[in-house]
Structure 1
C-alpha cells in the first residue's frame, strides 16, 4: 500500500472545522521554501506559537505543525514571501473554507487596511494564489491560462467549474448521477460523485455493497444503502464527529495480512510503531480495519505526525557501515547560517537607509512637520486631551489643511504622532522639535549600522567555519581515495551519470564573485558583470586589473563586463593573451544581460577595451554617473553579437547552479537548459526551469537543495524568457 501524499476532499472537509479553533490568531511572518511550500508563523492567544504549512508540490497538504518541526528559515526571502509579509503581518486569521467539495481551501485574513485571501489548490500541479477581499489576484506561485479559467496577477481569481458535492447532494441528483454512469458502483462514486478511490470504497464497504457491482445491476435497495452511508459520513463531517487515526504497514508488507486485525494501537505489549506510515484519516475506516493504527486527539496533530514520519522514512536510514562524517549536513548548516546572516545584513542596510531618508525628509518638509508638532505642543500646554487633538486634525483634514492631511495617527499613550511625509510614514515624538526628531532618526540609523558591523564580523567567523568543514571533507575524500589513485578517481567522476544517481552529494561553495553576474569561459577564464550601478562602480574601482578586458554593449543599461586575466588572489599580469573564444563568450554574456534581451531582440553590438583604457576620471566639462566610466583610445567592436544564455546544474567539483553563454556552460554542467527572449516573466520562467531540472534528476531532493527558483533566477537575464525548445 503506497503512502498518501495528497489530502483528499474528505480530509479537507474535516480540516475546516478544526482550523476554526484558531480564528483570531495573528500572523507574525511568512516564508517560501523552493517554489511549492509556504509557511505562516502565527500567534494564538490561547495556545501560543502556531505554525501553518501549505505545500503544493509532489506532496499536497495544509495543516499546522509543531514549532520544533518547522524547517529552518531560508536566507533571503523571495518576492512572494515579502508580498505575504507586507499583506499579512499583524493580520487576524478569520477562518478557512473549502470550495464546494473540491480540493481547494480558502484562508481569510483581516487587517485594518483590508482583507487578504490565500487560495490553496491541492490538485493537479498545485497552486497558491493570494488575492484581496474582492478576489483580485495579487500574486500566485503558478500562473494559469486555460480556456476554462485564468489565474494571473491583476485578474480576478477564477475557481474551477463546479462539480457535484456528495455531502449536500439531494436524493434525486444522487440517483441521476448514478444512473448516468456506465461503469461499476465504486468507480461511479469515485468519479461522478467525486469521492475519490479510497472513500468510494469506504462508502461501499459501510453500505455493504459489492464494489465491482455493475451500475446497471444496482437497484433501489443498493441506492438506499449507499445514500444512507453518504449521509452518515456527511453528518460526521458537519458535526466534527472525529476520531482521528494514523495507519501503518510493516516494512515490506502491503498491510493486508496483519494478524492482529481491528484497530491495533501502537505501544501494545511494549511494541513500537510499525515501520511505515500509509494514511491519516479523520475517523477510523473500515477499509483500513486490518492495518495497525494509532489514535489522535485532533486530525491536525495526526497529519502533523503523518507527514513528519513520511518525510523521515523517505530520507532513509543511514548506512551503519558507513563511518564517514556527515560533512554535507555540517556544510549545509553553515551555509544556511550565512544566508540568514546575509539576510540580516541586508535588512540592517535597508533599515538604516530608511531611517536616514526619514530624517532627510523631515528637513525637506521642515515647515509642514514643524506646523504639526507646534500645534500638538501648544494644545498639550493648554491641557487639551489627546482625543480632542486627534479630532482637530481630522476636522482640519476634511477642510483640506495640508498639515492636518499629513497626520495619519495620534497615539496619546506614547506621545507619538505618525505623519505622511512624501509617501513615507514617520513616527514623531511630540515633545521634541523637527531637529531633535531628525537627530533621533540619525542616531537610530547609526545604531542599526553598528548591528550590521556585528553581523559582518559574525558572518566572517561563519565563513571560516564553513571553509574548515570543507577542508576536512576534502581531506577525508583525499585520504579515502589514495588506494585507488588520482587518475582512477578522476575517471570515475567523469564517468558518473549524475542524473541517474539516487543521491547526489552536495558540495557547495561561496566564491567571492557570487553576488555579481558571473561564469567561466570554455577556456577557464572568469567573467564577472555588474547587476546594478553600484556593482558596476565596484568592478571598475576594485576588481579591474592589468591584463583584463572590459566589454560593454552599445545599448543602454548593460552591465560592466570584466574578462579576468587572473584571479584577484593571483599576481596580475598584462602579458597574458586572452583567447578570442573567451572574448567572444564574454561579449555574448554582455549583450545577453543588457536591455537587448529585455527588449526582445536577438542580437546587439558590443565593444571590448583593455583595462588601462578605462578610467573613472572624466574629461574637463564631462560628468560620469554612478556606475559609468570613460574610455580612452580605440575599441574593438563585435557587431550583431547574438544573445544566448544557458542555465545548468554543475555537480563537479561543486554542486551549484551556473549560467552564461551556452558554449561555455554546456561542458561544465551535468545538464543545461537554453533560454531565449520570451513572454514568461523572470520568476515564472525560473519555476519552469526548476521543474524541468527536478524531472531530469533521479535525486529530486538534490535539485531542491541547490537549485531553487530564486537561485536559478540569479543567472537569468532581465526581462521575459522562455525555454528555447518549447
Structure 2
C-alpha cells in the first residue's frame, strides 16, 4: 500500500496548490505529527492544508480532530505565520521538498516541508536562516539547527523532468534491474517506474547493462509521455481496499477498480483519509489478536489451577477419610509417642520407635518418620501416607483436612465459573472482532459536507424559506452589496454606524412584511445595539437601486460605505434571538436568527437576549443544551460564528 508521495506526485500536487496563493494564514494545529494549516483565501471557501513530514502534502476538506492545547511547535508557527499571506509554493528541483513563502507587513518567512525519509518541517526567515526545525538533526554534510542557514540535502536522484540519455545511463549503472533503478534514482516510486517500463515496452526485470540505445530512447519517450499525460486523478482499489493514488491513468493499472476525482488534491485527501481508517483498523486487529492471546493465556492458567484444585479435593478427602477410618491406631501411636517423649529426647524416641516396629508392634509399624522440629509425624497407612500434627488427636487432624477439602471444593467451583466467563469473553471477542476493541489513537478524519456559498456570511432562512444574508466584516459587507445583491432583493441596515449590510434574496417572489420584519431583527441583533445591551433598535429597508457608491458633489464616501438615495422605510424591532439546528443539505447546522424563523425550521429553540455572560461562556451553555437534545457533537467554533456580537444571556 502506498504510504507517501513520490516526487512526481508532489509536482502535480504543488501545481494545484497555486489556487491558495494570496490566502491569509489562520490557525495552525499539530495532530500526531501532522500539521493542519487553515487558510482564508480570496475565494469564498476556506481552504485547509495538510503537511505530514516525510509523507504527504495536500489540501483537505476533511474534519480533523484538533487538540484543545496546541503543541509548542504549532504555537511557534502561529506566532510567525498567522495573519501572513501565502505568496509562493514550489518544489525545488523536483525533489520531495515543498517550499512555502509567507509575507506579513515588511517581513517574510519560509516554511520548508521535507517529505523524504522521516521528514521534517523547518521554519526559516526570509534569508533562509533556520528559526526552528520540527526536529533538530545532524548529518555528515548537513545540519538542521536554529541560527544556521538552511541547505537542501544532497540530490539522491536525478530530476525526472531533466533526465537525458547520458545521465539515465549513469543513474541505472550497476543496478540489478530496470524498475528498481528507475524508482530509486529518479525518486519516483515503484508504481511510476513500472509505468515507464510499460510505456517503453521493456520488461521491468531487465538488467540495465543489457539495454540498447533504442531501449534508452524508448525509456526517455516513456518518461516524456508520462510527464505530459493528461491529469486524471484516481485511487486504485484492490480487494475493496485503497492501495495507491495516482495523478493520471496508468496502463499497468488497467482493469483494476478505480475511483476518479476532479483534481489530485481531492484524490490525495480521500486516499489518506481511507488509509488512516485502515491504519486504525490494523491497530485494532493487532489489539484484538493481543487481547485474544491474553484471554487464552488466562484460560490456560485457570485450567491449570482447576486441575490443581481437583487434585487437592481428591487428596484432602482421601486423607481425611483414611484418618477417620484408622483413628484408633493413630491415637494409640500418638499416645505412645507422648509417653516416651516424657522421659527421653527425640533421638531416643526415634530409636525406641524403630525397636518397637522391629519387634512387630502395630502402633510403631505405621509410623514412617518424625520431624520433631515441625511437630510432624508421617503415618504410612494402608490407603495413603499422611502427615499429622503430633500435638493433636486424630479427630483434630481429620477435621483440618476436611476443612481444606471444603475450601478447595469451593475454590474449584469459583474457578469453573471463571473459566466459563473467560470462554464467553473469548467467544464474544471472536464474534465482535475489532468492533469491540478500542485503541489509543487519534481517530481518522471525517468527511465534511460541502459548505454552501452563503455560509461565508451571516445568514438564516425566513419562516417561509427566503435566504437572508449579512456581512461579517468590511470585506464581506462589500461582497454582500456588490456581488450578491440583485434587483429583486431588498437591502436592510440598522440605523447605527458599523452595522452589517443585510440582504433579503427575493428569488423572484414577493417579499412579505413578515419576512422584512424578520430580516430587520436579524440586522439589529448583529449590530452594535446588541453589544450596547439595547432592548430594541431601528432598522430601515430600501430597494437595491437606492444603494449607491456615488457621493453627492463635494462629499466623500469612505471605502466600503454606501449612500442611500430616496426614502427609507423604518421600523423598530426588539433584540431577541433564537438558536436552533437547521436541516440543510442532509446536515444539522447551528443557526441564529429571529425567534419566529428559528421556530419554523428547528425542532427546538434556545432563546437569548443581550446580557452579561461572555460570548464564549454563552456558546458553551448553548452547546450543552443543543447536545442534550440531539445525538451529535456541536462545534463550539460554529456557535461562536453565528452568535450576535458581545455578551448575552439565556431566556428560560
Pick the TM interval, shorter chain: 0.3 to 0.5
| Superposition TM-score, scaled by structure 1 size | 0.40
User: Could you state the TM-score of these two structures normalised by the residue count of structure 2?
Assistant: 0.44
Structure with bigger gyration radius: 2
